[in-house]
Structures are given as C-alpha cells and as structure tokens.
Chain A
Amino acid sequence: MADLNQLHDAVLNGDAKTAKAVTEQALAAGHEPLKLVQDHMMPAMSEVGRRFECNEYFVPELLLAARAMKGSLELLRPLLAAKGNEPVGRVALGTVKGDLHDIGKNLVGAMLEGGGYEVIDLGVNVTPEQFIAAIKDKKANIVAISALLTTTMPAMKTTIDALKAAGVRDQVKIIVGGAPITQTFADEIGADGFSESAAGAVSAARKVCLA
C-alpha cells in the first residue's frame, strides 16, 4: 500500500528515486493520477517555493525537488492525457536568444509544472522562431521568457515583435522575468505579465490568463 505522504515528502526532499517508486506503487494501487498531482505533488512544490523565498532552501535543493517531481510526472503525464485531464495551461518556456543562463528558467519551469501547467522547455538561446513554432505546433497558450543579461534584454522585445509579425501574438499571454527585468521593462516591451521570482511566475501565469 503506497503511503502518499511519502510522495509529498520525496518531492520536498528532492528524492527522485522514492518519488518515482511511490508513484508507481500508488498507480498500481489504483490511485487517480490527477489526485497524486493535485493533492501531493503540487503542495510539495508550493512548499519548496515557499522555503526558497524565505532562504530555507537554496538552488541545489530546488533543482533536486524539481527533478523528483519531473520523474513522477513522466509516469503520470500519459495517464493524465489518456483520461482527458487537461493541464491548467501550456507554457512555451525559454531563455532568450543570446543568453545561456538556465538555472532560473529551470526553477520557473519546475514551479509552473508544480502549479499544474504543462511546460514545453525550449532551453536556452531560444530564437523567436522556436517560440513561434511552439505556439503553432504545440498549442502553447503562454510564452514565458527569461533573460539574465542586460545585453540580451532587447531580444525579449525582438521576440515579442516577431510573434506579432507572425500573427500569433494574440493567441498567447507573455510573461517575462530574470534578474535584470523589471515591471517597467516588461510594460515597455509589451509583455502581459512579469515576476521577479520562480514561485511568482505561477501567480503571474494565472493572472494573465484571467485578464
């Protein structure tokens, strides 16, 4: 019999092996995939985010928690899809062209997945064309762009302009973030939302979708 508290704790403690094992046991015991995500993994990731915000967790702990959650989600995702459980939203996430920093972007991805979003991770140095393809081919309805360099911030605007030129800007909401990004800059380049933290990116995604 699977102890589902263990799933929560395994994600929280970044223990990918246990998270996967408990997920397998839970599925074998007939637990609903959606409930595993909503009742155990999402609260764990939200606690991870809280601990990070108040300096109880640091980047290593967060990345390991994200890995543990990903391992379980890989088992659950096909089952969720087969049952018609749609994700809250589909996010095309990437670090902007010219920028190779991915730690913050990965944390944002993990928090979004922990918040029930499907994340299409386009990686680093992502061209506008890659974002456009993710919107067209993978039906992303949110575009999330990260930048860490002052020199790559302008590429965020170039990306948004390219989405407009390709006629897909109105199909998506755009959120931006990264250490040098401010709300003022986000407004200037025509993004819909901004967050200065990974946990805040989930609220930002929710907010822009409601707007």
Chain B
Amino acid sequence: MNFNQLVLNSPRRLALPISMSPGLALTGAKVSDIVTNSQAQLDAQAALQQRYQSPFVLGAMDLSVEAEAFGCTIAVSDSEVPTVTGRLITNQEQADKLAVPQPGDRRTGVYLEAVRLLRQLPGQPFVFAGCIGPFSLAARLVGVSEAMELTIAEPELMHTLLEKCTDFLTNYLKAFRAAGAHGVIMAEPAAGLLSPRGLSAYSSVYVKRLAAEASDEALSIVLHNCGAKLLHLPAILETGLKAYHFGAPMDIVGALGKVAPDVILCGNLDPAGVFVQSPPAETTAKTAQLLAATAGHRNFVISSGCDLPPNAPLASLDAFYAAVKTANQ
C-alpha cells in the first residue's frame, strides 16, 4: 500500500510528526550518534513507535548529508544536526567540473542502512527515508544566501548545479527504494524563499523530473516545504506529486480547498512555537484546533511543520499524540 492509499483508507486520523530528536530522550543517544549511526536511528524510532504506536517510522532529517557527499565540509556538534560550512562552488567552472557522488558515499550509507534496519521493526510500519530537495541541495553547494541571488543573477550556474543534484537525488531515491523504503520525505526548505516563478523554475521542474524517474507505486514521495505560503501552492503542484508536507506559513485549510481530494497534505504545527515554546497543554490545544479546522478532509495528515528541534520536550510530543487520540475517539 502506498502512502496515499494508507491515508485515504484509514478509518482514523493519522499523525506524522517529523520527530527523531524526541526519541533521543528515550534512548539516551546524542544527535551526533543519530547522524553517524544507523542503529541509533533505529533505536530512537523504535522507542518512539513503541510509545505512540504510529503507523510511520522515519529516517532522520539531516540536510547536510547529501551536500557532504558532494564534498562540502560540515560542522558537527553533539546536540545539533551537522551544518554545511563555507561554499563548495563559487563559479561556473567549478560547477561544470563538480563530480556527482554515488548513493552510499560518505554518510549517505548511514541513511540507506537505517532504512534497511527500520524495515525490520515489528508491526511492519510504513518506512519513510528523508532527503533534501534539488534546489536546497544546490543552495548548500553554492551558499544559501548566494543561491538566492544567483537565481536571478546567474541562472546558468544554478541550472548546472541543479542538473547534477537531480541526477544524484534520482539515484539516491532509487537506492532508498532498493533498501526497502516505502516513501521519502524530500525537504525543499530553501525553495520556500523564492517567488512562485522562481520556485517553479528552480525546484518544481527538477522535482518533477526526478520523481518521474525514481518514484512509482512502491515509493511515495512527500515533498516538504516549510517556508511555502499559499501563493506558492500552484507552483509546487506543478511537480505533479500526490503528497506534500508544509510548514507553519502555509494556510493549510486554504490549501486543502485547492488540491484534489486524493492529494495528501501534511502539516503544519510550528515546530518551535508549538512544540518548544508552548507548555504541553497549549500543544494539545493547538493540535486539537488544527484537527478541528481540517475535520472532514480525509487527505490531511497532522504533523509538525518541520523537523522538531532537539530541545523539543517529549512532553510536547505526548501532548500532540494525546490530542490526536482524543480527536479519534
């Protein structure tokens, strides 16, 4: 069963928070363990799954791993997901010469292995891998701030990088499928900062291409964009995908009114505002509010608008799941 079938056929409302970090509170591992060790990912997801009985498990969301495979340097810390430092590419010549890595290179192997391990969990949960989207990857290679300007100032450079990023991601997705993933959550956060026209030209075109090559009935792609607003939606839908995951800036009720009933939308509780800065009672209330606002939309899956920060307390996630359970009673 693919993701869309699973959601649309579910008799109850499903929840898919993007959460790896809260699992660390249960296993005692550090973020640095998660991003280097597939067993640590499995342990954290297994602990979360046992606690919440979720039908989904997720590989960690680490948006530095693909850029590192291309050769970017990263800064590692115990408590944060690694961050890309500096710029790997500063001009067209470097972009032309850039070699495309293979799935399995550097730490991408950890994430492929994590999927294999997650598939062995009891209860056969739906296994999501996580990866970056083509524009966000290209932006990490050239510098995120710089990429913004280059979309207007030097489109050719960006398109050269995007071609290479798309080639890599197509193969990476195929490798995830071969490892047993049922779906991939592909994060395209930097594209949310572009105009709808820019998003269409620098993200949707490439996502559409790689999805056509790498996705099929056996691999669902959920495109995540935590910065997109409602005005971006038509440009995002140009990808032709059947499932999307949005952040807090999206008017999710408005978006549900604009997509076909068989297109799944997930989102969009603010990870910082709702899961870190609010006490659990407020997390419950905000979760319940969103569920009430989206009642009747079978194609909506409640989620955090993005990856939960490492300092999100487990009590917030408990409160979130409690609200979902109440709504299902």
A: residues with CB less than 8 A from B are 14, 55, 57-61, 63-64, 67, 100, 102-103, 106, 149-151, 179-180
Contact = CB atoms under 8 A, between A and B. Distances in A.
Contact of B276 (A57, A63, A102, A150): A150
B277 A103 contact: no
A58 B194 contact: yes
Contact of B153 (A64, A103, A179): A64
A154 to B, nearest CB: 10
A41 B153 CA distance: 21
Interface string B136-159: 000000001100110111000000
Given A58-B193, A102-B145, A150 B309 contact: yes
A63 B145 contact: yes
Contact of A59 (B193, B231, B272): B193
Contact of A180 (B79, B152, B194, B273): B273
A150 B311 contact: yes
A102 B149 CA distance: 14
A106 B149 CA distance: 13
Range class of the B interface residue count = 20 to 34
Contacts of A55: 229, 231
A201 B272 CA distance: 22
A151 B145 contact: no
Contacts of B145: 63, 102-103, 106
Contact of A14 (B83, B152, B194, B229): B152
A93 to B, nearest CB: 15
A150 B80 CA distance: 12
A151 B194 CA distance: 26
Contact of A103 (B83, B144, B195, B272): B144
B83 A60 contact: no
Contacts of A14: 152
Given A58-B198, A63-B145, A100-B83, A151 B309 contact: yes
A150 B277 contact: yes
Contacts of B153: 64
Contacts of B195: 57-58, 60-61
A64 B309 contact: no
B109 interface: no
B310 interface: yes
A112 B23 CA distance: 43
A67 B310 CA distance: 35
A59 B198 CA distance: 11
A67 B149 CA distance: 9
A122 to B, nearest CB: 16
B144 to A, nearest CB: 7
29 contacts: A55-B229, A55-B231, A57-B195, A58-B193, A58-B195, A58-B198, A59-B193, A60-B151, A60-B193, A60-B195, A61-B195, A63-B145, A63-B149, A64-B149, A64-B152, A102-B145, A103-B144, A103-B148, A103-B193, A106-B145, A150-B276, A150-B277, A150-B309, A150-B311, A151-B310, A151-B311, A180-B272, A180-B273, A180-B277
A194 to B, nearest CB: 15
Contacts of A58: 193-195, 198
Contacts of B80: 151
Given A100-B83, A151-B311, 10 more contacts: A14-B152, A58-B195, A59-B148, A59-B194, A60-B152, A60-B193, A60-B194, A61-B195, A103-B144, A103-B193
Contacts of A63: 145, 148-149
A161 B156 CA distance: 47
Contacts of A106: 145
A167 B229 CA distance: 44
A9 B79 CA distance: 46
Nearest to B84: A100
Contact of B198 (A60, A100, A180): A60
Contacts of B277: 150, 180
A196 B277 CA distance: 17
Contacts of B144: 103
A104 to B, nearest CB: 10
A61 B231 CA distance: 17
Contacts of A150: 272, 276-277, 309, 311
Contacts of A180: 272-273, 277
Nearest to A180: B272
B268 to A, nearest CB: 15
A40 B194 CA distance: 27
A57 to B, nearest CB: 8
B308 to A, nearest CB: 10
Question: 9 tightest CB-CB pairs across the interface, nearest first?
Answer: A59-B193, A58-B195, A60-B148, A150-B272, A180-B272, A150-B276, A59-B148, A63-B149, A60-B151
